[in-house]
């Protein structure tokens, strides 16, 4: 495995960010972009042990919803 992709969304109600790894059961949260970056790295470190192939790249895909009033 060369990379793992996280979908990052901003929480409109409470603020902060949530991140979910696509294809893996890895989820984390953070109050700022810097914190979500740190928490994603920590979550990946916790998920993959020595016997598993670790990703060489972590990609954060920031998703933003926009609502257009017609």
Side-chain half-sphere CA neighbours of 7 within 13 A: 9
Mean local confidence (pLDDT), 18-47: 97
- Statement: residue 30 has pLDDT above 90: yes
Domain count, the chain: 1
Compute the distance between CA of residue 47 and CA of residue 60 in angstroms, rounded to an integer: 17
Percent of the chain with pLDDT over 90: 74
Assigned domain for 57 exists: yes
Assigned domain for 14 exists: yes
What's the pTM value of the predicted model, to 2 decimals?
Answer: 0.86
Domain that holds residue 12: 3-63
Single out the residue of 51, 62, 64, 54 nearest to residue 20, CA to CA. Answer: 62
- Statement: residue 17 has pLDDT above 90: yes
Q: Give the pLDDT of residue 70.
A: 87
Assigned domain for 32 exists: yes
Q: Give the pLDDT of residue 20.
A: 98
């Amino acid at each position: 495995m060369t990379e793992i992709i996280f979908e990052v969304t901003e929480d409109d109600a409470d603020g902060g960010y949530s991140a979910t790894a696509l294809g893996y059961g890895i989820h984390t949260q953070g109050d700022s972009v810097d914190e979500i970056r740190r928490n994603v790295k920590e979550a990946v470190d916790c998920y993959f042990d020595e016997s598993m192939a670790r990703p060489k790249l972590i990609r954060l895909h920031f998703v933003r919803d926009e609502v257009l009033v017609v």
